[in-house]
Amino acid sequence: MDMKLDKTEEILKGIESKIPPLPEVIKNLLNIHYYADTPVWKIAEEIAKDPNLSLEVLKFANSSLFSSLRVTSLEHAIVVLGVYSVARICLAFWVKRLQESQDLIGYIQRKRDIVLQSFVGAYASKRLADIIDPFLSISSFTAAAIRMIGKLVIDSYVYSKKNDIILDIYKGNEPTIAEEKILGISFPEATYLIAKSWNIPDDIKIPCRYFKSPDRLGEDTSPVIRKITYIIHVGDIISQMTGAGAGFDNMIERFSRRSLHVLKIDEKIIEAIFYETFVRTERIIEELKAEAI
């Protein structure tokens, strides 16, 4: 029997036991047919059933880091941000709650670290998207914010094979390549499978799968998904460069050279986003007010 294949199947089964199903309210919000015919007050009423989620949406809408808006109610937030954006913001902060639920012994990351790494990358990705194409800002933010969720599923397997993975990294492989080689699956692939089980839109789940290896995207990939993937690829590396929330697998990887071509930017823009993200890391922590941080 192929032990790697057997381990992969075991990991896939673990998704159901370790990751809860998507809450009904978020599932509804991600369904365009739901909010096309649902009044704003009703959507606000549904979100309000989860007080913590309501608070996160309002904090996001009022954060000087993420928005220049000042809102006082969920209805106001939905109107000014748009349901499309609110749905994705709800997803990002619900995943944050999952990440706050456990320390990662394999990756040597406390729960506060994975949240910090996720949202520093999300901030950098959103700021990059603001420059490249503001329409992609919220999707880029959300994809980057949930990109690490696969670590929760494979962490115990990383722990059991950490020496082999570290040895493979020392041989020159990037951490996710080492994971794939030794475990048969990497955390971005696990994130993709989780997002797929939740029926998350392609503009979120496909970038989560390929952000570590954007050049592997198929030629038939839509321009929007390709841009978002390269945006969170750059945002992820910027978060590595800041060192925020780093685990044992934190390596300052090289940007794909195609990033500059696909995103139509130069290295000066990446440097500027890095500097802005680095100096604002403490403020990101403060404004997110994550209990785990």
- In this predicted model, what pLDDT tens digit does every residue of 235-265 receive, in sequence order? 999 999 998 888 878 777 788 989 999 999 9
Span 193-239, pLDDT tens digits: 999 989 999 999 999 999 999 999 999 999 999 999 999 999 999 99
Q: What is the pLDDT of residue 117?
A: 92
Q: Kindly list the domain boundaries of the chain, sorted by start residue.
A: 3-21+102-288
Q: What is the pLDDT of residue 7?
A: 61
Q: Rounded to an integer, what distance in angstroms lies between the CA atom of residue 279 and that of residue 268?
A: 17
Instruction: Please state the pTM of the whole predicted model.
Output: 0.91
For residues 266 and 259, the answer to whether their CB atoms sit within 8 Å is no
Span 19-40, pLDDT tens digits: 888 988 888 888 866 677 788 8
Distances (CA, A) of 59 to 13, 20, 54, 90, 290: 35, 25, 9, 12, 11
What pLDDT band is residue 288 in, cutting at 50, 70 and 90?
Answer: low
Phi, psi of 72 (to 5 degrees): -120, -5
Right CATH for 3-21+102-288 from 3.30.70.990, 3.30.230.80, 1.10.3210.10, 3.30.930.10: 1.10.3210.10
Burial class (CB in 10 A: 0-12, 13-18, 19+), 257: exposed
Query: What letter does residue 175 receive in the DSSP assignment?
Result: H
For residues 187 and 164, the answer to whether their CB atoms sit within 8 Å is no
Contacts 24+ apart (CB under 8 A), 237-244: 238/120, 238/121, 238/124, 238/270, 238/273, 238/274, 238/277, 239/117, 239/120, 239/121, 239/124, 239/277, 241/274, 241/278, 242/120, 242/274, 242/277, 242/278, 242/281, 244/116, 244/117, 244/120, 244/281
pLDDT higher than 60, residue 289: no
pLDDT higher than 50, residue 276: yes
* CA 181 centroid distance within chain: 23
Distances (CA, A) of 153 to 131, 147, 239: 34, 13, 22
